[in-house]
Structures are given as structure tokens and as C-alpha cells.
Amino acid sequence: MTNHNDNPIRNTELLNGLWAVGIRNKPVISRFPDLFSESLAQALQAYRNRGISQDDFTVFCVENIRRFKPEVAVGHDVNGEYGHGTHMMSSIALMKAVGLAGDESFHNESFTKYGVWDTPKTYIFLWNEQKIVLSINEPLPFFDGKTAFQVSQYGFSYHKSQHWTWFNGWLNGTAQAPITRSTQIRRYQPGNFGLYRTLAGDDSEGAADFFENITLIKDIIEENESEAEADLSENAVYFDELDIYDEVDSPENGQQHFWRQYLKLFVPVIIIIITIALLLSFFLKKNRK
């Protein structure tokens, strides 16, 4: 949501951290600078001083929702976790944007470029309604048995310029009392979200999956591939079924086929013989003279 163009080290840490946790696409980063504030009012004023409004944040979210058309959107705590005003602005922007992105009358520029998109599910961190607790302490084969929480710790290890802050202790604990599971964290516990908006129905009780009731793209691809394979198998044509063999079955067709093949062979031979004969005749006449 914000950039650190005034501090390139932070941008490098961002990219390295994302790569460490498995992201292989460069992120979209806004033009908004990272401005610290301890309340929403302070954040609004700080950005207003830079010529940036809350509506600008909302438009940025709408544009990216329309561009990438996510099945699930996930946002900051409405209270800015520990009270960070920019986090609050980000949360408000997303909550507004998921409704506005499907409205053709809102922000004609991104509508013309990307069309509209109504995001099926939106989750907000620490939202108190329709709560969901993600299973981020289970080993993941993709990360060689590390849990999602451990992978997040590994990603944060690249944000070295932030290791002096209280975030480090919050996420990793201390040498005497290291944190190895997200459930050891009491405040702002990772994995705790709430379903803010849904077009796909409510989550089931005890849900632990953002994508419940969502048809995954990989499932659509697998289904289409299975159907394509079935069609190929059903409509496959083998050589012994081709009409060319049927054409040779009758004597008349067989004779025609025979002469076509031999004409292709004999015509070049006859031309060569005639050419040789003409050459020999020419040399014989010359020698007689």
C-alpha cells in the first residue's frame, strides 16, 4: 500500500522477504509514501499534507481489484493493529473498494481498462464477525515441512532494518523464550481473521480456509484437462479407420491407385531416358562430321 522510495534498503528487504516466502512475481507498490501516525486522524492529515486523500487509497485498491480479479481479498485490522493510522487507511480503503470495484459508474479510467470485478470473499485481520482461524502451524510439504508461521518468521529475517523494533520480539520471542508457534502470541495473533463480506456464502463453523466455497483455478484447469482427454479418446481416429483403405477395396479403385503410383515412378525415368538418347544422337552426328 505504501512505498519506501526514500529508503531503498526497505524496498530491497521487501523483495527479498517476499522471495523467501515463495512469491515469484514482483509486487505492485503504490505511489503513497510510508508515513507513521498513531491515529486515523493523524494519518489523514499527514497524507493530506502530501496531496493524498483517503479516496486516493480507495481508488488504488479498486484499480488493482479490477486488474487482478481476486477470489479472496485480505486486509489490515480496522484498528491498525497497534494503532498505525496508515494501516487504518488501508483497511478502510479495501472495505470500500470491494463494493465499488463492481460498480461501473465508479472510476471510469480503471473500468475502461479492466472492467468490473465483485470479489467473492473479503477477510479483515482481527475482524470480530464470522471469525476464522487459519491453520498456520501445520507443516507444509512445499516448504520442506516448515509451517506457514515459521515461513513468515523466515521472511521477516530479511527485514533487517526493522529488527531493532518491538516487532522482532513480537514475532520471534527471545533467546530464552523463542516463539515457534503463532498461538504463543497473545496480541494481534497471526491467523485470526473475520469474514467481512461474502458472495459465496458463510464459512462453516470452525473453518480454517480462506477459499472455502471458492472454485479454485487449478480445479477448473484439471477438470478441463480431463474433459479434453476424454474428448480426444472418444474422437480418436486410427489408421485402420481411414477412408484411404476403403478406396482401394474395389477392383476399379485398386487399378486407379496402382496406375497413379507407377506413373509417379515411370514419368521421371522416361524423361531421363529421352534426354540421354538425344545427347547420344547429338554426339554421334558430331563424330561423323
**Domain coordinates of the chain in residue numbers?**
8-229, 239-288
Query: Which amino acid is it at 252?
Result: E
Torsion angles phi and psi, residue 175, rounded to 5? -60, -35
Q: 31 or 265, which is more confident?
A: 31
Torsion angles phi and psi, residue 98, rounded to 5? -65, -25
Cα–Cα dist 48/37, whole Å: 13
Specify the CATH class of 8-229 in words.
alpha beta
Q: Are 86 and 42 in contact (CB under 8 A)?
A: no
Picking from 46-55, 61-70, 165-174, 269-278, which range would have the lowest pLDDT averaged per residue?
269-278
Give the up-direction half-sphere exposure of residue 76: CA atoms within 13 A in the CB hemisphere: 19
Q: 271 or 135, which is more confident?
A: 135
E strand residue ranges, 14-111: 72-75
Give the tens place of pLDDT for each residue, 11-35. Answer: 999 999 999 999 999 999 999 999 9
Q: 175 or 285, which is more confident?
A: 175
Q: Are 81 and 65 in contact (CB under 8 A)?
A: no
